[in-house]
Structure 1
C-alpha cells in the first residue's frame, strides 16, 4: 500500500533536471547542510514530510548544522546565494537543445565529410579517373564534328572517304567509351556512397549509446532518428547525384573553355567572361538556400519527434481523447515543414531562371557574332558549328549544377547537425588511466560505497544535491525514502554513474567510479528502475542481457530465485517467447520480474532498486520481497522505496527531504521514534486497516 505522498508521483523523484528542486544526503559521521538557500517543498507535501524538525534528536540533525565528531556546529554561511542564479530581469540564453542547434566548430562539417571519405580515398581516386575518361570521350564529339565539316566533307567531294570514315569511327568509339566509363563510374561511386553512409549511421548509433543520460534527457530520440535517417539520406543524394554533377560541370567548364580558346580566342574569351555573373548567382543562392535548408532540417526533425512521441504514448492518447489535439499539433508542424520545403524550391527556381537567362543570352550573342564572322570570311563554318555545340554543352550543366547546389545545401545543413551531435562529449567518459577494483572480501559479494564531499547540479542550472558525505557498508541494504524531489533517484544515478558529481568523489571499495572502466563498473553496479524496459526478443535473451554467455540453466535458476519461472513456463513458448516491442506481450508486473531476474543473473556487487516494485500488485510484491531477501543477501543494496512495505528488508533507512538526510537509522528505531518516518509508517499502517 502506498502513502498519499507516494501516489502523487508514480515516476519517482529526481529523474531529470525538472524533477528535483533539491537533494541531499548524510553520513554516519558527517551531515553537512547546503551552502545555499533551498526552495520549499512542493505544495502537495504532507505535514509529515514538511516537519523534519519534529524528529527525535537522536534521529535527525537541524537543517543548519554539521555533525562532526559528535559536536553540532553551524554550517550555513550567512547570506549565501546560488552561483547559478539568473540575474533579475535577465533573459536566459536559448537552450541549443531546445532549438535543435547543437554548437559545432567552424569547419567541422568539412572535417566530418573528409573523415568519412578518407578510408576510401583509393576508390575515390579511381572513381574520379573514370569520370575524367568519360568526360574526355564525351567532349571529343563536337571537335570531331568540326573536323568532319572542315576536312571530311571537302575530302568526300574529292571522292576521298577515308577522313570521314575515320572521324565517324572515332565518334562512335567516343560515344561507346563514354557509356562504358559512365557505367564503371556509377558502380564505383555507388559502392563508395553506401560504405560512407554505413559508416556515418554506425558513428551516430555508437556515439549516441555512449552519451550520458543527461544528454538523452534533453535530446529527444526523435531527433536522433532524424539524424540517422533524414540527414543521412541528404548525404546520400549528394554522394550519388550531386558530386557527379559538380565534377561534370567543373570538367566541362575547364575542358570546353580550353577547346573554345583554341578554336577561336574571341569566342572562348566571351564564354569564359559569361561565368562571372553565373558565379555571383551561385554565391547568392548558397547564402539564401543555406538558411532555408537549416530550417527545413529542423522542421522535419520536429515532425518525426511528434510522430514518435504520439505513437509511443498511444495509450494515454486514446484514454484522454487527445487524437484531435495531436492531429492539430502535427498538422501545424507538418505545414511548417511544407513551408520550409517550399522555400527551398523557390530558391532553386530563382537560381534556374537566372542561370538560364544568362546562358541563353550569352549563347545567342556569341552565335550571332560568329555567324557574322563566318559570312565575313574570318571564321570557318566548322568552327562555328563546333562552337555552337560546345556552348550548349558548356551551359547545359548549369541547370544540373543547380541540382548539385540543392543537394549540397541540404547535405551541408544535415551534416552540420550530425557534426553537432558527434561533437557532444560523453558526460561520463571512460577513464584515461583505468584502474581495477581490489579483490572482494571472501564470502561477501558486496562492496563499500563512499560519497566523499559530493555535490551535484544539472547543466541547466540549480543545485540538486549540496555537498554531503555518506558511507554505505558492504553487504548492507539501505532504503531511501522521502517526498518527490528530495533527491533519492539522483543519489542512485550518481552511484550507478549515470551522472558524475559536480564536486567530490563516489568510491567503490576506495576506487573512484571515474577511474573504473565502464564495462567493469556496469558488471559491479546494476540498477533496476521503475520502468522495466525489455527489448524485442525472447525472455531468455532479456534475462541474459547482463551476461550474454549465461547458459539456459543459469537463466532459469535466476528466474526461479526471483519467482518468475512459473509465469514464464506458462507462456506458449516458455523462455523462448518473443516479448515483442518494449515487452508488450507480458504485463507490467511480469516485465518487472524479468528485470529482477536480469539483475540477479548479472551478479553485481551493488544493486540499486529505484522504486522497482511500484508496478507490482500486492501478491506480486510479496513474492518479489521474499526473493529479494535472497537476492540482496551479502550485496550492497540501495532501495529507493515507493512503498513502505519494501523498507522491511532494509538494514538501514535514510529519510530525505529538501535535499537533506533528516533521519538515519534502523527501521525499528525510526518507527519507535516521533520523526518523519514514524509518521509516514503510521499513515501507511492505518491505510492497511
Structure 2
C-alpha cells in the first residue's frame, strides 16, 4: 500500500492522516501565505492593475440600483410633469454602468488569467527545480508519485482558485462591503435588519472553514496515494503482469480511491451545508425586509424607490455571499494544496553546498575515509556503517565484496556524497567532500548504478549527459572506446536513434555501455560502480567487462560486485561484513588464503562447472 506523507514539525513531507492542532494550523497557514506572497511579488504591478479594475467594476455594479431608485423617485415624476431629462439621465446612467461593467470584467479576466498562469508557471518550475536539488535521502522517502501529485492535482486546485475563484472572491467581498455602506446610507433601520443576519453567518463560516480545511487536507493526501499507486503499478507493469498482480493492484487502488472519495464527499457535504444555510439566511432576511420595508413605505418613513433599490441590492448582497460559499470551497482546497507545496519547498537538502568551497580542479583521486560512521537516524547506537577508516591511493581499483547488507552500497553513497557521514570524514586528495563544491565534486567523482538510467531521446543525447558541451566527434570517440560504436551503427538512425522511455529500446548490456560512454566522456578522477554488471547475462557481462577496463584505466575506482569475475580487474579486494572490513588484499593473495574471499571464490568456480 502506498506510504503516507510525513510532515513533522510542520515542515517537509506532510502526513495527510495526522490530526493538525490549532497551533499547527497557524503555522501551516503562515507558511502557505509566505509562499503565495513570494509568488505574487514579481507580478505586483499586474496584481495592482487587476485590483484597480475590479474596484471600478464593483463601483459600476453597485451604481446600477441607485439609477433605478433615482428613476422611480425622481425620473418618473419629472416625466409626468413633462420633464424627461431626469429619466433619460437615469436610464443612460444605468446603461453606461452596464457597459462599463462588461468592459472591466473583460479586462480583469484577461489580466487575472495572465497573472494566474505566470504564478503557476513559476511555482511549477520552483517545485521541480527545488525537488531536483534535494538530497537522495529525500527522494528515498518521498516517492516520485507524490511529487507528481504535487505538480498535477495540487497545482490544479491552486489554478482553479487563481483563474476564476479569486476573481469571484474579490468581486464578492467588494460588493458586500460597498452594498453594506449603501444600505446604511439608504435606510438605517432596514440596514440593521440585514446586518443582523451576519451574526449567525459568522458562526456558520467559522465552523465550515474548519471542517472543509480538514476535509481537503485528507483529499490532498488521498489523491497523492492514488497517484503513487498508479505510477508504481505502471512503472512495474512487467512484474505486475508476470506475477498476475492485477487483481491485488485493483484492490489497493479501490481502497485508496475510496478514501479519496470519502474525503471529497465530506468536504463537499460541508460546502453544501454552508451554501444552504447562507441561502436560507439570505431568503429569511429578504422576507423580513419586505415586511419591514412595506410597513415603512405605508407610513411614509421611506420612499418606494428606496425599497425597490433595497431589494435589488439585497439580491446583489446575498448573491455574492452565495458566490463566496463556492469560492470558500475552492479556497479550502487550494489552501490544503498550497500547504503541501510549501512543505516540499521548505525541505532543505541534507547534503548542503559549502559556503566557502575549496577549489580542487582536476583531482588526482586519492580517497580517505577517516574514522567515519553512518546512521540514517544519526544515532550512534544504530549505525548502518560502524566507525572505520580506509585509504585508497590515487589510481587504485578497489573491489568491495560481501553479503547483502554488509554496508557496501552505503559506503559507495558516502564516497559519491549522496549522504554525509554521521561522524568522521571522507576526503578527496585530502579535502573533506563537504568542503568541495557540487560542481567540482560531480566533475571528479561519478557513480554508475546497477540500472543504467537512460532518458527519452537519442543515444547521442544520453551519452552527452557526461559532458553537455561535447561535440559529435567526442561522443563517437567515447562510444568507440567502450565498444558501443558498432552496436549503435546497427540501430535505425545510428546515434540519433531514440532509446525510448528509460532506454527500453536497448538491452541491459547496451544501456550499461551507454552509461560507461557517459563516464568516459565525463573523464572523472574517481568512479564508483554499484553492482554495474550484476543484471547482465554472460555475453553482456563480457562486453561490459572489456568496456570497464577501458573506463577504469588510470582512474581511482571502487567496484561493488557480487560476480567475482568483475573482481579480477581490481588491484585490491575488500571483504565487508556487518559494515566492517574483515579482509583486505590483492585478489591473488586472498584467493590463495583460507579466508572468506577464498571460500567465495571457490564456490563461484564450482558454480561455473
- TM-score above 0.5, yes or no: yes
1:668 paired with 2:584, answer no
Higher RCO by CA contacts (8 Å cutoff, separation 6 or greater): 1
Cα separation, 2, equivalents of 1:364 and 1:460 = 68
- CA apart distance, 1:623: 2.6
Most deviating of 243-252 and 314-323: 243-252
- After superposition, the C-alpha distances for 1:298-352 in whole angstroms (9 at most, x for unaligned) are 1111110010000000001000111111111111111211111111111111001
1:253 paired with 2:147, answer no
- CA apart distance, 1:94: 14
- CA apart distance, 1:355: 0.7
The partner residue of 2:306 within 383, 407, 410 is 383
Equivalent pair of 2:451/2:532 in contact (CA under 8 Å): yes
Cα separation, 2, equivalents of 1:460 and 1:97 = 19
Other-structure match for 2:91: 168
Unaligned 5+ runs, structure 2: 1-7
Residues 379-528 of structure 1 correspond to what in structure 2 (within 5 A)? Answer: 379-437=302-360, 440=363, 446-459=364-377, 462-528=382-448
Tell me the SS of whatever aligns to 2:465: coil
1:231 paired with 2:154, answer yes
Other-structure match for 1:44: none
Cα separation, 2, equivalents of 1:312 and 1:94 = 31
Equivalent pair of 1:435/1:517 in contact (CA under 8 Å): yes
- After superposition, the C-alpha distances for 1:626-652 in whole angstroms (9 at most, x for unaligned) are 232222121100000121001111000
Check 1:492–1:574 CA distance in 2 against 1; reply closer, same or farther (3 A cut): same
Cα separation, 2, equivalents of 1:642 and 1:252 = 72
Other-structure match for 2:462: 542
Tell me the SS of whatever aligns to 2:506: coil
Equivalent pair of 1:592/1:616 in contact (CA under 8 Å): no
Cα separation, 2, equivalents of 1:626 and 1:203 = 43
Other-structure match for 1:153: 76
Q: How many residues of Structure 1 are paired with residues of Structure 2 in the alignment?
A: 593
Equivalent pair of 1:214/1:427 in contact (CA under 8 Å): yes
Check 1:222–1:460 CA distance in 2 against 1; reply closer, same or farther (3 A cut): farther
Q: Report the aligned-residue RMSD.
A: 1.8
- After superposition, the C-alpha distances for 1:241-284 in whole angstroms (9 at most, x for unaligned) are 22222212221121111111111111122222221221211111
The partner residue of 1:354 within 277, 291, 295 is 277
Most deviating of 415-424 and 615-624: 615-624
Cα separation, 1, equivalents of 2:17 and 2:334 = 16
Check 1:497–1:280 CA distance in 2 against 1; reply closer, same or farther (3 A cut): same
Equivalent pair of 2:275/2:326 in contact (CA under 8 Å): no
- After superposition, the C-alpha distances for 1:127-183 in whole angstroms (9 at most, x for unaligned) are 010000001011101010000000000011111111111111111110000000000
Check 1:97–1:125 CA distance in 2 against 1; reply closer, same or farther (3 A cut): closer
1:109 paired with 2:32, answer yes
Bigger helix fraction: 2
Cα separation, 2, equivalents of 1:190 and 1:93 = 36
Check 1:331–1:152 CA distance in 2 against 1; reply closer, same or farther (3 A cut): same
Other-structure match for 2:15: 99
Unaligned 5+ runs, structure 1: 1-91, 441-445
1:317 paired with 2:240, answer yes
